[in-house]
Each structure stands twice: as structure tokens, then as C-alpha cells.
Amino acid sequence: MNYQIALLKGDGIGPEIVESAVSVLETIGQKYGHSFAFTDYLIGGAAIDRTGQPLPQETVDGCLRSDSVLLGAVGGPKWDSRPAELRPEKALLGIRAALGLYTNLRPAKIYPALRDASPLRPEITGKGVDLLIVRELTGGIYFGERGCREGKFGEEAFDTECYSVYEIERIGRAAFAAAKKRRGRVTSIDKANVLETSRLWRRTMHRLAAEYPDIAYSDLLVDNAAMQLVRDPAQFDVIVTSNMFGDILSDEASQITGSIGMLPSASLGDGTRGMYEPIHGSAPDIAGQNRANPIATVLSAAMLLRYSLGLSAEADAIEAAVGSVLDAGYRTADLLGQMPGEPLSCTEMTAKLLSKL
């Protein structure tokens, strides 16, 4: 088969890590008899510099013509002082909405070889952490009415959260479907003791849960959830939550694994086209130095194969290669931290991964 993949390399370390994932996909293609046609499109700061816009229409159109999309990272200090509408981050929200990618899957798991990298004590991580955050991605406060105005105390600003039953149901179904293929547990996280949107969220999730009797369902308030994630992360299988709570909790969950440089993500809609990206940012401090850890992007490419192209054996092969490279003791600088040893560069790590394929 021939697949069209749009590459949105973006800013900072984006180009380096996407190149790494492209070489992994090319090797997979040779081994399994697929061909991938990669096309670059501009996004984020790189797009601002070339076109004045963080998300040119050509990029949206190119993604819509592709089978799937692989994204590096966007943003950096160079563009931080721009108004909200013209910041690189706006492009990320824009492309999620334009492609209808309302389901964001963020798996967080501890690799046995990296257990020491977790800031949590071994008694806690020893129980094994393997959870999946299902974050709503095109609604809530990220996309609600907002503005600035004169208020009682002078200048004020506001953002609003709105969720429809329709939006809650479709993300809920995505979570229940994911749990069926995993360990059969769903925890819905909200702030139903305070927020009206959360009360609707909870009622809707309860109604859905009744349709999935084989899934063990529970709900948790977001403040308690933040605490439970560090107290006993092994209790979680699938977590489903709103756009903003998911943003916050997924950073917390990633840190539990000790290595934000390891975690991939998938953003999906109703069809098979998705957008796949590492959950870490553009790391401008190490950009262009060949020091970035490419694994999160490589694992994102594995998710692309699995979810958009239905190539699970190929995805398994990439995930196994990552496991064996780590078991063999190879580490990029972020994984080494304070530990002794020579870190591998981004290209060296990529070469190790290719050799395991």
C-alpha cells in the first residue's frame, strides 16, 4: 500500500525528531512492503516566519488530503510576545478543530528499564503504571466564548466553558471503546461539586456507563484525581476528561513515568485520519544540537500506523524496538539525567532503533 503522510515539523526540536520518525517509518515500509509519501507543511513559528500566519490554509488543505499527519512541536520564545491569535499555539488549536480531532489519546506507561527515572518511590511505581488519558480536544474552555472588557474593578478578562451532551457522549464512547481493549476500567474526571459543565458531564457519563456493563466505571473530582495520580497511579486504566483537565493531568501523568521525552499521543476524529505528536514541546534550549530524544515521536509514528493505517504488527515492531533499545541501556541525555554514562544523540538513538527493526 502507498500512504500519504503530512509532516508538520514545526519549531525547535520538531524537525530533528520528525526526521527520526520518518526514517523509522521508511525502514518499516521496506520491511513490510508499504510505501510512504511524505509531504512537509508549515505550522507554528516556522509558518509565521514564512507566511505571517501560524496555520496557513495550505497546511490545513494538505492535511485533509493526507491519510494521516505527523507533528513535531510548535512554539518558542521568538514568538511568545505575539498576540494570542497570531501565536504558534493557536495553530495547534486550529488544526485540531479543522481536522475534527476531538479525541486525544495520551498513554503514560513506565518502562521497566526506566523505573529509576520516575520521581515516585519504587513501592509506588513497582505496581506498574500503564494508563491512558482520553482528553476531549475540540471543546470546553479552550474553544468557549472569551474576551476582555471593563468590569466592576476595571479591566477584566473572561473565558467560558461549554459542553454539549453530544460532545460528552462522543468522547465518552471513545473512552469506553479504549477500555474494552485494555483492562476494562474507566475513570471519568470532573469538578461536578462546582461546575455546571461537570454536572452535565457526570450525568452523561453515568448514562453511557449503563450501556457498557462489562466496564468498571467510576468518577473522581479533578483535585482528588491529581492527588491519586501520584499516590497510586497503578489504580488507573482509562481516564476520560475535559480539554483543560486533560491538558493538566496529562503533564502530571507524564512526569510519573520519569520521561516526558518518551510519551506519544494521538488525536482522532470520526474517520481514520489522525494527528500524531509527542506530548513534549519544542525544547528551544536544545534545538538544533542533535540532543533531543526522538522516542516520543517514534512512538507517535507507531500510533499512526496502528490507529490510522490499521498496521498493528508494524506498530508492535516499533514499540518492541523501543523496549529493546532501552533494555540494552541506551539513553538520550533526558533519560540519563544525573546518572553516569555517555548520552546518545538524537541521530545515534535513531540508528539504534533502526538496527532493532
**55 binding ligand IPM? (CB under 6 A):** no
Chain residue at closest Cβ approach to Mg ion: 247
From residue 242 to residue 271, the character string flagging contacts with Mg ion as x (rule: CB under 5 A) and all else as - is -----x------------------------
Measured from the CB of residue 350, what is the shortest distance to Mg ion in angstroms? 25
Query: Is 223 a catalytic site residue?
Result: yes
237, 186 in Cβ contact below 8 A?
yes
Residue 6, φ and ψ in degrees, nearest 5: -85, 135
Measured CA to CA, the distance from residue 119 to residue 231 in angstroms comes to 12
Measured from the CB of residue 277, what is the shortest distance to ligand IPM in angstroms? 8
Among 3, 191, 307, 330, the active-site one is: 191
Measured from the CB of residue 47, what is the shortest distance to ligand IPM in angstroms? 15
Residue choice 6, 42, 63, 92 for contact with ligand IPM (CB under 6 A): 92
Q: Closer to ligand IPM at the Cβ: 167 or 247?
A: 247
**277 binding Mg ion? (CB under 5 A):** no
Measured CA to CA, the distance from residue 4 to residue 24 in angstroms comes to 16
225, 187 in Cβ contact below 8 A?
yes
Identify what 11 binds: Mg ion, ligand IPM, none; CB under 5 to 8 Å per kind.
none
241, 205 in Cβ contact below 8 A?
no
Measured from the CB of residue 332, what is the shortest distance to ligand IPM in angstroms? 21
Least Cα distance to 59 among 11, 94, 25 occurs for 94
User: Residue 323: is it exposed, middle or buried by C-beta count within 10 angstroms (0-12/13-18/19+)?
Assistant: middle
**101 binding ligand IPM? (CB under 6 A):** no
Measured from the CB of residue 93, what is the shortest distance to ligand IPM in angstroms? 6
Residue choice 29, 38, 40, 89 for contact with ligand IPM (CB under 6 A): 89
For strand 130-136 and strand 68-73, is the pairing parallel, antiparallel, or unpaired?
Answer: unpaired
**161 binding ligand IPM? (CB under 6 A):** no
All cell numbers assigned to 152 = 466592576
268, 99 in Cβ contact below 8 A?
no
Q: Closer to ligand IPM at the Cβ: 92 or 333?
A: 92
Q: Closer to Mg ion at the Cβ: 247 or 334?
A: 247
**141 binding ligand IPM? (CB under 6 A):** no
Identify what 89 binds: ligand IPM, Mg ion, none; CB under 5 to 8 Å per kind.
ligand IPM
Residue 194, φ and ψ in degrees, nearest 5: -130, -45
Query: Is 247 a catalytic site residue?
Result: yes
Size of the site for ligand IPM (CB under 6 A): 3
From residue 238 to residue 277, the character string flagging contacts with ligand IPM as x (rule: CB under 6 A) and all else as - is ---------x------------------------------
Identify what 92 binds: ligand IPM, Mg ion, none; CB under 5 to 8 Å per kind.
ligand IPM
Size of the site for Mg ion (CB under 5 A): 1
Query: Is 40 a catalytic site residue?
Result: no
**11 binding Mg ion? (CB under 5 A):** no
Measured from the CB of residue 253, what is the shortest distance to Mg ion in angstroms? 11
Binding site for ligand IPM (CB under 6 A): 89, 92, 247
**Known catalytic residues?**
142, 191, 223, 247, 251
